[in-house]
Amino acid sequence: MNLGLLAREGPSLAQGALVVIKIAAGHLTLGLIGGITLAIMQVYGGRFASSISDIIQKIFRSIPVLVLLIMAYFGLTRLVEMPAIIVAIIALGVRSMAYQSQVFRGGFKAVDPGQMESALSIGMTKLESIRFIILPQVLRKVIGPWSNIFNMEVKDISLAYAIGVLEILKRGRYIIRYTHGNSLLIYLSVALFYFLLARAGNTILYRLEALLRVPGFEGRGDS
């Protein structure tokens, strides 16, 4: 193996890795906020709000993410000037929102309706009940299924390569091109990075689950 090459090109790969982490943080946060909102609309909203939510999640769950990325790239940048990384965050974010909404919908449905009733009975509004009583329970319940989404979607960040985002795969390809080779070493490094990122994320999620654990909300156990 050409370790000198890795030392020389490492910083470039690391920058690509940083871009991946930025996209992950951005799109998962967008998906989290949007997903919780869609789920609340679907479970607690009226007929109108819940059908809107349903239509949105169906659209973005049914279009391939690569198509979403390319559509967003050519559509959004025509409306507003924005860097490709933002386009990637938005495109991956709406897809994530759609999937997360389904995870959270299940979580909200799994909370006994009596919880909302007793929250209302002490004078909380519906939104306060959701915020202080329902959501904290949902979060504890969904960390497991949520980590699944995390795993899938973090890997899909490599698709942002298609719209020219300088993430780790794209940088790897550059290095291979101008060093005329080393493709195995570079691709292995890219793969290793994604592997470590996925594992680190899962570890953090397990820790979080353990941290939030209270009697009655046991987690998936240790691993």
Partner 1 sequence: MQDILVTKNIHRSFGALEVLKGVSLSLQKGETKVIIGPSGTGKSTFLRCINQLTPPDKGEVWLEGIEVTNPKTDIYKIRQQIGMVFQHFNLFNHLSALNNVSVGLHRVKKLEKNEAKRMGLEALDRVGIRDKADSYPAELSGGQQQRVGIARALAMNPKVVLFDEPTSALDPELIGEVLEVMIKVAEEGMTILAVTHEMGFARSCAEEIIFMEKGRILEQGDPEKFFTEPEQERTKEFLHKITELYGNSKEGG
C-beta separation of 154 from 204 below 8 A: no
221 binds partner 1 (CB under 8 A): no
- By CB atoms closer than 10 A (0-12, 13-18, 19+), residue 138 is buried
User: Which lies closer to partner 1 via its Cβ, residue 44 or residue 217?
Assistant: 217
Nearest distance from C-beta of residue 130 to partner 1, angstroms: 12
Secondary structure element (H or E) that encloses residue 135, with its range: helix 135-156
Could you tell me which stretch among 20-28, 46-54, 109-117, 185-193 binds partner 1 (CB under 8 A)?
109-117
- By CB atoms closer than 10 A (0-12, 13-18, 19+), residue 168 is buried
Residues numbered 43-82 forming contacts with partner 1, rule: CB under 8 A: none
User: Which lies closer to partner 1 via its Cβ, residue 136 or residue 145?
Assistant: 136
Q: Which residues contact 109 (CB under 8 A, 6 or more apart)?
A: 43
Q: x-or-dash pattern for partner 1, window 114-153, by CB under 8 A?
A: xx-xxxxxxxxx--x---xx--xx--x-------------
> What CA–CA distances, in Å, run from 22 to 38, 58, 66, 114, 121?
24, 27, 19, 40, 43
User: Which lies closer to partner 1 via its Cβ, residue 5 or residue 124?
Assistant: 124
Could you tell me which stretch among 10-18, 59-67, 78-86, 108-116 binds partner 1 (CB under 8 A)?
108-116
Q: Which residues contact 207 (CB under 8 A, 6 or more apart)?
A: none
Nearest distance from C-beta of residue 135 to partner 1, angstroms: 10
Residues binding partner 1 (CB under 8 A): 112, 114-115, 117-125, 128, 132-133, 136-137, 140, 214-217
